[in-house]
Amino acid sequence: MKKIGILGGMSSASTSEYYKIINKQVQEKLGGHNTPELIIYSVNFEVITDCVKNNNWEDAGQYLGEIAKALQHAGADAIALATNTLHKVRNHILKEIDVPFIDIIDSISSKIRSDEKNKISILGTYPTMTDSFYIDAYRENSIELLAPKESDKIEINRIIFEELTFNVIKESSKKFFLQVLEDSFDRGAEGVILGCTELKLILKQEDFKKLCFYDSLHLHCEEIVQLACST
């Protein structure tokens, strides 16, 4: 089994989900008492949130690049960045490592393409919903992203950083998300990307069956497990 380095802590709530899901999937895949060999580096999330709020991607990239290099030196055979938003600085990480990088955008895009869908709503942090990096990355995979209206994007970002990253789940916030999904469906969306690893905590497919859910955390974990169990 290959050792996987998880660059986590963004937030701790979602990183704990990565740990549980990867373990569960490996056990289901291999049986017995098999569990994955993981090296988790949980960063100081305050450093990252400051960088995101101040649009300081260079410092974020350097910080995460150094940590990715440390994971490789610790014996990781591949690296996964357990967050959507910070994939904007993936090139900083790629410059620092020689082992494979398990990309969350590739994991999501592969599933959407296999479902033969191309008009997809995106929910996530404000940068994930608006930055050209994400729009272009999905467009390269023939996927058109539909972002919510501006006021909804601001509220989604607030809920993620003020509630979900602290593992706080409010019914009022869930109702808000369901209305956003209804609006996306009315605009012609065929599916929705849960483009923030915390969104899994508040939204599930059974909550809104009009759109196909693409849970970024779950899809990323599937790719991680596939590589971890490869020979």
pLDDT value at residue 104: 97
Please check whether residues 118 and 67 belong to one and the same domain.
Answer: no
Q: Catalytic residue among 125, 196, 197, 221, which? A: 196
Distance CA 194, CA 85 (A): 12
Taking only the tens place, the pLDDT of each residue in 1-45 is 999 999 999 999 999 999 999 999 999 999 999 999 999 999 999
In the residue annotation, 128 being an active-site residue is answered as no
Which of the four pLDDT bands, split at 50, 70 and 90, describes residue 69?
Answer: very high
Tell me the percentage of the chain whose pLDDT exceeds 70.
100
- The domain of 157 spans 105-215
Instruction: Please check whether residues 143 and 210 belong to one and the same domain.
Output: yes
pLDDT, tens only, 85-132: 999 999 999 999 999 999 999 999 999 999 999 999 999 999 999 999
Helix (H) or strand (E) holding 14: helix 12-30
Count of beta carbons in the 10 Å neighbourhood of residue 119: 14
Residue 196 falls in the annotated catalytic set: yes
Indicate if 157 and 202 belong to the same structural domain: yes
One domain, residues 109 and 188 = yes
Taking the C-alpha atoms of residue 214 and residue 191, their distance in angstroms, rounded to an integer, is: 7
Q: Which candidate in 15, 51, 83, 197 is catalytic?
A: 83
pLDDT band at 231 (very low <50, low <70, confident <90, very high): confident
